[in-house]
Structures are given as C-alpha cells and as structure tokens.
C-alpha cells in the first residue's frame, strides 16, 4: 500500500447506485469521518452524509465501513483499512436517502412502538425519588442507559433484516432500562408492546449488536432480560 | 388470550421442551454409543425396549418434547426466509407437530409391544 | 471475511439452525425405520447391516455430531436467556463445539 494516499470507495445513489473511487491523502490519527469530510470538501461537494458532534456523543455519523457498521467519527482508519482500501456504504436495514445518509424514521418509530419512553408517576409536589446505586435494577438500567441512538446495532442485526416488524436491539435495550426504572408507571403497556409479533422473542442472540455497539452496551443481555420479564407477565396473565 | 401472551407462551414451550430434550438427548447419545458396540440388530432393540415400561415412558416424553420443540424452530425459519403469513406458518407448525406425534408414537408403542 | 456476521456467536447460530433443520428432516426416516422392527424384523436387520458400511458409519457420525451440537448449542442459548450474563460467550461456543466433536469421536471409536 501507499502510505500517503488511501483508495476510498464510497456509495453514490440510493438503493440503486454504484461505488465511486477517490484518492484521499493519509494523515496521522485520521478517522473515517475525516476521510468522508475530505472528499466532500475537496473532491465532490455533492456527497451526502450526516454528522454533528464529531466526538462520539450525538450518534449521527454511523456508516457501513468495510462491511461493518461503525461510528465513523471515532473509528480510526488505521484500525479498519489494514489493506489500504476503505469501502464506505450507508447503514444497512434502513432506506437510503442519498449516498451515505439513511432515513432513520423507522428506527425511531420502533422506539415509540416499544413504549421506550419514561412514564412519570410523581407530581411536581413530590420529592426526588431516591434510587440506590447499589440496587440490582438500577445496575441493570445503568448498564444500558448510555445508548446514543446511532443505529449501528440495528444495522448489524440479521433478525431486523429478516423480520420487517422486529423492534430491533436499540429500542428493546431502551425498553429494558425502563423496565428496571422503579419510578416508571408504564410497565404493563411496555411489556405488552415488546412481547408478541416483532418483539423480544424474535431475538436469536446472534450478538452482532453486542459485538459492534460503539458504546460497548449489550442489547442481547437486555433482550434476554425482557424475555424473562414477558414470560413472568404471560404466566400471570398480565399481558 | 391476547396474541402477545400466546406468542410468549409458545416461546416458553419451545424453551421448556428444549430443556427436557437436552436430558433426553444425553440419555439417547449414551444408549447409541453403548448399543453400537457389536452392532445393532432388531433382536437387540426388541430385547431392550420391548415390554419395558421405563423405556416406554422415556421415549414417550422424548417424542412429545420433540413434537413441541421442532415445529417452533421450523416456524421461525419459515417466517424469516419465506413470505408465508402468520396463519400459514401456524398451520404448518400444527401439521408438523401432529406428524411427529403420529410417526413417533407408532414406533414407540410398536417397539414396546414387541415384549408383550 | 468482512461482514458483521463473522464472529463466534453468529456461527454458533448458523450451526444451530442448520443442525435443527437437518435433524427435523431426518426424524421421519428414523421413526419409519424403527417401526419396521415391529412389522418386518427381517427388513430392519437388512437395513441395519447396511448401516455397518463405513460410508454409512461416517454419515451416522455426522448425525451424532449434529445432535450433540444442537443439544449443547441449545443449552448455551438457555444459559444466555435464563441465567445471569457471562462475559466468556466465545469460550462457551468453543466448549459446545468441542463437546460435539468429542461425541462424534466416541461414537466412531465404538462403532469400529
């Protein structure tokens, strides 16, 4: 490989399209997002992609990099382009808007469908809830709470690809943090939303979500927790 | 029963039958290894299983557990790789369950009868 | 291979699905042959002597490995779903694979 330039293939178009090849100068500590930004600013201003914070907080810049979904702002080229080439595609399992930008609507609609939102029970007259950091449920919630909604797990999940209505790892992981939130008042509706068709029972524990989550969260373990919770509810006739 | 509850209980049946099957398969593999020493014959099979109530009970549990377990896996495969609807896969699952029960009990009861 | 699928737990899933389907397809033939013992013992013995052929023994070894792999892989899934999470998932996959091959080897050695 040449050390000063990198051959980069970037997806152009929508579902139908083709790869376009660019030569990009190599720099120290260069990230995949740096590469895409270089192409857009210097080689082809028409390239569409999405990013905001550049430091792994906002979750907007995920793309498929050499076959695997990655957060591009925190993925160093050294780590993924060992053979000197880089192939950058939009995330899988979501409709492509253009080039590297995908439509995340369905991804977030599934969060809504999974009732993956907090349902408050206290009023403004109540004092703050005291939740001990040592509480086992609090620990379960803490383990999954740092999700940045980047869509990497959703894009890596074959069950999402095979079953169109499957809620997917991110929404289910979020639901599990709320199942463990003792202040939450939406438990019955949530368990009903995540059981049945497209729900947590569809998961086969492939663990691609766990393998690739940039925040090192474990949606597979969260979904296993939901499976146990829905079984308990089903046996009691609560769902 | 709500569809959510039904789906969850079906999933539980698949897992529970899997746990039973794990025990059955350990016994089955042990018997296979011991039985093949010196070759298997119809007489050997009849001598071991024929008229034996414990073996009748064991193989009955084995067949029932398979009949509950395998169709659920097949249904997942059909749901994920074909465009068959939920109703179609449900009926295929039921048919495979009945098929396994029918063929399985024909063999199990037949073998038990050899010792009578 | 550069894909999100290339990791131990995904391959364990593929093996579980393929072995499950293969065992389901084998089952009717297995039950049919056993039922022969009742009605036609001679036919069954003819069939059983056919299974003494080395090629058939190898195929049977394959079945034993598939059965052991589906069983150990299934216990692995039950552990993921019903027990506390363990961080040594890849070791568990390796252990299930090792046990399955061992079962096939024991069968083959005894069959000889």
pLDDT in tens, C1-48: 578 999 999 999 999 999 999 999 999 999 998 888 777 878 888 888
B79 in contact with A, Cβ within 8 Å? yes
Half-sphere exposure of A36 (CA within 13 A, CB side): 29
Give me the phi and psi of A11, to 5 degrees please. -70, 130
Taking the C-alpha atoms of residue C19 and residue C49, their distance in angstroms, rounded to an integer, is 26
For residue A93, what are the domain limits?
5-102
For residue B15, what are the domain limits?
3-113
* CB atoms near residue A67 (< 10 Å): 15
State the total domains in chain A. Answer: 2
Q: Tell the burial category of A180 from Cβ atoms under 10 Å away from its Cβ (0-12, 13-18, 19+).
A: buried
Q: What are the chain A neighbours of C7 within 8 Å (beta carbons)?
A: 207-208, 211
Residue B72, pLDDT > 60, answer yes
Taking the C-alpha atoms of residue A154 and residue B54, their distance in angstroms, rounded to an integer, is 49
Taking the C-alpha atoms of residue A187 and residue A192, their distance in angstroms, rounded to an integer, is 9
Q: What are the chain C neighbours of B77 within 8 Å (beta carbons)?
A: 17, 21
Residue C49, pLDDT > 90, answer no
Query: Which residue among A86, A102, A118 closes a domain?
Result: A102
Identify the pLDDT of residue B35.
Answer: 79
- What is the least distance, in Å, from the CA of B115 to any CA of chain C? 10
Q: Which of B1, B5, B6, B86 is the mutation pick for testing A, counting most A CBs within 10 A?
A: B5
| Domain identity same for A109 and A175 | yes
Identify the pLDDT of residue A1.
Answer: 46
Q: C62 to each of A83, A119, A164, B73, how far by Cα in Å?
A: 38, 53, 35, 21
| Domain identity same for A143 and A201 | yes
Asked if B66's CB is within 8 angstroms of C52's CB, the reply is: no
Query: Which residue among A36, A68, A102 closes a domain?
Result: A102
| Domain identity same for A142 and A218 | yes
Q: What are the chain B neighbours of C31 within 8 Å (beta carbons)?
A: 100, 103-104, 106-107
Identify the pLDDT of residue B116.
Answer: 57
Nearest to A14 by CA among A65, A69, A90: A90
Give me the phi and psi of A186, to 5 degrees please. -110, 25
| Domain identity same for A97 and A125 | no
* A residues 209..228 contacting B (CB < 8 A): 227
| Domain identity same for A98 and A49 | yes
| Domain identity same for A177 and A214 | yes
Q: What are the chain C neighbours of A176 within 8 Å (beta carbons)?
A: none
Identify the pLDDT of residue B37.
Answer: 77
**Residue B26: which residues within 8 A CB-CB, separation 6 or more?**
C71
| Domain identity same for A87 and A120 | no
Ranges A170-174, A202-206, B103-107, C85-89: which has the least confidence: C85-89
- When the pLDDT of each residue in chain C is averaged and rounded to a whole number, the result is 92
Pairing mode, if any, of strands A5-13 and A101-102? unpaired
**Which residues does residue A76 pair with via DSSP β-bridges, in sequence order?**
A31
Asked if A197's CB is within 8 angstroms of B3's CB, the reply is: yes
Q: B36 to each of A179, B45, B51, how far by Cα in Å?
A: 52, 11, 21
Check if the beta carbon of residue B116 is closer than 8 Å to that of residue B50: yes
Closest residue in chain B to residue C34, using alpha carbons only: B107
Please report, in angstroms and rounded to a whole number, the separation of the first and last CA atoms in chain C. 39
Check if the beta carbon of residue C108 is closer than 8 Å to that of residue B36: no
Percent helix, percent strand, percent coil in chain A, to nearest 5: 40, 15, 45
Check if the beta carbon of residue A47 is closer than 8 Å to that of residue A17: no
| Domain identity same for A111 and A89 | no
Identify the pLDDT of residue A36.
Answer: 98
**DSSP secondary structure letter of residue C87:** S
Asked if B39's CB is within 8 angstroms of C68's CB, the reply is: no
Which chains contact C through at least 3 pairs of Cβ atoms less than 8 Å apart?
Answer: A, B
Q: Tell the burial category of B28 from Cβ atoms under 10 Å away from its Cβ (0-12, 13-18, 19+).
A: middle
| Domain identity same for A116 and A195 | yes
Identify the pLDDT of residue C112.
Answer: 62
**Residue C104: which residues within 8 A CB-CB, separation 6 or more?**
C61, C62, C64, C65, C68
Please report, in angstroms and rounded to a whole number, the separation of the first and last CA atoms in chain B. 45
Taking the C-alpha atoms of residue A167 and residue B29, their distance in angstroms, rounded to an integer, is 39
| Domain identity same for A129 and A228 | yes
Nearest to C27 by CA among B110, B26, B103, A17: B103
Asked if A239's CB is within 8 angstroms of B86's CB, the reply is: no
Query: Which residue among A49, A77, A102 closes a domain?
Result: A102
Task: List per-block mean pLDDT (blocks of 10 residues) for chain A, which spans 239 residues.
Answer: 82 97 95 98 98 97 97 96 90 98 98 96 93 96 97 98 97 98 96 95 97 98 98 95
| Domain identity same for A228 and A127 | yes
The CATH number covering residue B30 comes to 1.20.1300
**Helices marked H in B37-85 — which ranges?**
42-49, 53-81
Q: What are the chain B neighbours of C74 within 8 Å (beta carbons)?
A: 18, 21-22
The CATH number covering residue A150 comes to 1.10.1060.10
* Per-residue model confidence as pLDDT tens digits over B34-68: 877 767 888 888 888 899 999 999 999 999 999 99
Q: Which residues of B touch C (CB under 8 A)?
A: 15, 18-19, 21-22, 25-26, 28-29, 32-34, 36-37, 39-43, 45-46, 66, 70, 73-74, 77, 96, 99-100, 103-104, 106-107, 110-111, 113-114
* A residues 101..160 contacting B (CB < 8 A): 159
| Domain identity same for A109 and A137 | yes
Query: What residues does each domain of chain C span?
Result: 19-111
Facing residue for A211 by CB, picked from C7, C80, C82: C7
State the total domains in chain B. Answer: 1
């Amino acid at each position: 490989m040449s050390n000063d330039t990198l051959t980069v293939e970037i997806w152009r178009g929508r579902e139908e399209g083709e790869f376009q090849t660019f030569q990009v100068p190599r720099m120290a500590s260069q990230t995949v997002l740096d590469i895409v930004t270089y192409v857009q600013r210097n080689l082809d201003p028409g390239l569409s992609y999405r990013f905001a914070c550049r430091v792994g907080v906002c979750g907007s810049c995920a793309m498929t990099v050499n076959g695997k979904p990655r957060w591009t702002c925190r993925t160093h080229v050294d780590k993924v382009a060992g053979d000197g080439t880089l192939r950058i595609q939009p995330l899988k399992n979501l409709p492509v808007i253009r080039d590297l930008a995908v439509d995340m609507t369905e991804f977030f609609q599934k969060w809504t469908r999974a009732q993956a939102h907090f349902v408050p029970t206290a009023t403004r007259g109540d004092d703050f809830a005291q939740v001990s950091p040592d509480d086992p449920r609090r620990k379960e919630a803490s383990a999954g709470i740092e999700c940045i909604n980047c869509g990497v797990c959703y894009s890596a999940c074959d069950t999402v690809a095979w079953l169109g209505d499957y809620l997917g790892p991110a929404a289910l992981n979020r639901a599990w943090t709320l199942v463990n939130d003792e202040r939450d008042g939406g438990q019955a509706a949530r368990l009903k939303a995540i059981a049945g068709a497209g729900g947590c029972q569809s998961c086969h524990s492939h663990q691609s979500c766990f393998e690739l989550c940039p925040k090192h969260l474990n949606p597979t373990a969260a979904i296993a927790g939901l499976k146990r919770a829905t079984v308990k509810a089903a046996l009691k006739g609560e769902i | 029963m709500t569809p959510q509850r039904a789906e969850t209980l079906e999933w539980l049946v698949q897992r529970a039958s899997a746990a039973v099957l794990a025990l059955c398969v350990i016994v089955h593999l042990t018997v296979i290894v011991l039985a093949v020493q010196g070759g298997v014959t119809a007489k050997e099979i009849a001598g071991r299983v024929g008229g034996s109530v414990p073996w009748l009970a064991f193989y009955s549990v084995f067949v029932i557990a398979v009949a509950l377990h395998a169709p659920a896996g097949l249904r997942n495969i059909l749901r994920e790789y074909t465009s068959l609807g939920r109703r179609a896969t449900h009926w295929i699952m039921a048919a495979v369950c009945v098929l396994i029960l029918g063929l399985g009990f024909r063999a199990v009861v037949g073998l038990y009868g050899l010792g009578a | 291979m550069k894909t999100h699928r290339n990791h131990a737990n995904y391959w364990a899933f593929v093996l579980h699905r393929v072995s499950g389907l293969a065992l389901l397809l084998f089952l009717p033939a297995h039950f049919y042959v056993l039922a022969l013992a009742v009605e036609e013992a001679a036919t069954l013995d003819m069939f059983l002597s056919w299974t003494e052929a080395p090629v058939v023994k190898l195929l049977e070894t394959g079945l034993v490995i598939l059965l052991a792999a589906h069983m150990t892989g299934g216990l692995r899934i039950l552990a993921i779903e019903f027990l506390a999470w363990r961080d040594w998932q890849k070791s568990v996959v390796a252990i299930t694979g090792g046990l399955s091959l061992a079962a096939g080897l024991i069968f083959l050695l005894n069959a000889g």
